Each structure stands twice: as C-alpha cells, then as structure tokens.
Structure 1
Amino acid sequence: MTENTPQRRSGRQLPTAEQLRIWRDFIETADALRSQLSSRLQTESALSPGDYAVLLALSEAEGSGMRSSELAAGIGWQRSRLSHHLGRMERRGLIRREECAADNRGAEVVLTPTGAEAFRGATYPHLRAIRELFVDALTPDQLAAAGEVAVALRAHLGPSGKV
C-alpha cells in the first residue's frame, strides 16, 4: 500500500496521508487562531472567551437576560460548565442570576451594567483582532470558501454536533 492509499477497517475507509495532513493543518491552524484571539481578548479586555460568549448571548437576548438552560444551549456548553462559569462572572459583577418569574425550576441570567460595559469595551478590540488575524489573511474567494467549508461541516454534524 502507498502512503496515500486508504486502509480499510470494519468496512470503513480510513483517511489517506494527504487527507490527514490537511486535517492536521486545519486543526492546528484553528487552534493557533483561537489561542491568539483568546490571548488578545484577555489582554485587551480582561475577559475570557467564555465571558465574551456569555456576554454576547445576553446582550443579544430580549431584555438582556435568558434562562440558564437556553444560554447553555445557545453557546454550546454543558449546564454544569455554564453554572461554574456564571458563578465566577457573578462574583465579578458581570451578570446576576435571578429566579425565573415564569417558573421556579431555573434561573434567569441577566447582564449587569458592569457586564454591558465590559462587553462594549471588549467588542471593538475583539472585532479588530478577528479582522487582522482571520479576514485580512484571506482573499475574498478564500473567505467565501472558508464559509462554505464551515456550513458543510456544520450540516454534516447536524444540530447535536454528532454525525
């Protein structure tokens, strides 16, 4: 077998060496991009990427608040992870948790004025970093192709993120 000839196991074809090289390039580049964006966000705003994701979701929600279960689903986190993170954000005054008026089974997570201010202060530098590190590195055709790749992968994974 040559290095680009796929092997078969259990009736499934394994990736070729070239496909694995592309996969590694994709993953390693995405990790490096995420790391640089995270570092700049933390340095320029003292917010973690998790903080920013929560604040973004709350800032877009009607009334700047939402049930914690909806928030977890919206940002793709497990509820236990979100609960721990919200505790840290609450101690910093970025959000507050209130009993849900509609039913007492869950909490409503609400953006505080301090959280709104932190989010506004982080947004421009974060968007600038996205432009510098991602958008400016690609031609318009490459950017469109990246969007098509993202849509195809998301469609393949389905709403649950699993094939």
Structure 2
Amino acid sequence: MSARLTVEEQRLWHAWKIAADTVRQRVAEDVKTSSGLSDQDFSIVTRLVELGDGTLRQNELSASLRWDRTRLSHQLTRMENRGLVTRSAVDGGVLVRITDEGARLVQVARPIHADAVRKHLLHRTEGIDQTALVRVLERLALDSP
C-alpha cells in the first residue's frame, strides 16, 4: 500500500472531516444561542436525563460519552460553577446529578437541538439512502476495524 493517500482518498478524508465538523458546529451553535448550553454541556445533561433519570455515576457518564476522566471532571467543574449539575462522593465513586436549572435548560434545548439536526443534517441528506448512511456511520463508529 502506498505511503500517501490518492487524490480521491484525500478528497474523501477532507470531505468527511469538514462535513462532520461543520454539521456538529452548526447544531452546537443553534443550541448554545437558544439555551446557553455548550455542546459539551448538552451532551452531559441529556445523558443524565436519558440514561440515569437525572443521576449517573461519573465513570458511567464518562463511558457513555467516550470521554476520558480528566476531560469530564473539568467540564463538570465548570457546570457545577454554573449550577447545572452537582457531584457527591458515594461508595466507590462520584454521583453526578442534574440540577433543576440543568433540567430546565434540557427542556429548552431539546427542541432546538432536534430542529438543528433536521436543518443541518437530515434535510441536507434528503434523497440519500439514509438507512445505508446510518449503516456506514455505525460501522465507522465501531471500536475495532
């Protein structure tokens, strides 16, 4: 195999990176503008609501987000300072709990997020076999090739 990408391989790689970054950034901007929640904030508070009914152990939250512990800890500190979550020591770990304010902002952000995903991703991929696209993306997301 060649040490360099072909022109078409480079084109695919750059298109993939730019598309993924652009769509995610646009969705995140819409959510932030409407709710004040950053992309990272939204990821955490929605996980707390969806996976843990408002509460999760920090290591479970880290695993569900695929974030390392340090990154999550720093983000949670920022969110605690803004009154979005609380943390408390429990037997064998740390429990993360969404606050009333965090839960309120989830309710504000969710419809904005849904509209943004539709606008920036789904409407722009109309006419493409979305089932096939999902299969490809899920294959790419697997931990091992």
Query: Normalising by structure 1, what TM-score?
Result: 0.82
Alignment map for 1:76-95 (pairs within 5 Å) = 76-95=66-85
**Alpha-carbon distance in 1 for matches of 2:53, 2:25:** 32
**Alpha-carbon distance in 1 for matches of 2:59, 2:52:** 16
Alignment map for 1:139-158 (pairs within 5 Å) = 139=126, 141-155=128-142, 157-158=143-144
Query: Offset at 1:140?
Result: 5.0
2:65 corresponds to which of 63, 75, 82: 75
1:8 aligns with 2:2: yes
Unmatched tracts of structure 1, length 5 or more: 1-6
Aligned counterpart, 2:121: 134
Query: Offset at 1:123?
Result: 0.4
1:26 aligns with 2:16: yes
Aligned counterpart, 1:60: 50
The higher radius of gyration belongs to 1
Which structure carries more helix by proportion?
A: 2
1:114 aligns with 2:104: no
1:36 corresponds to which of 26, 36, 55: 26
Q: Deviations over 1:86-115 (max 9, x none)?
A: 111111111111121xx1x32100111111
Aligned-residue CA RMSD in angstroms?
1.6
Q: Identity percentage over the alignment? A: 31
**Alpha-carbon distance in 2 for matches of 1:43, 1:69:** 30
**Alpha-carbon distance in 1 for matches of 2:84, 2:14:** 37
Query: Normalising by structure 2, what TM-score?
Result: 0.91
Unmatched tracts of structure 2, length 5 or more: none
How many residue pairs get aligned? The number is 145
Q: Which amino acid aligns with 1:146?
A: L
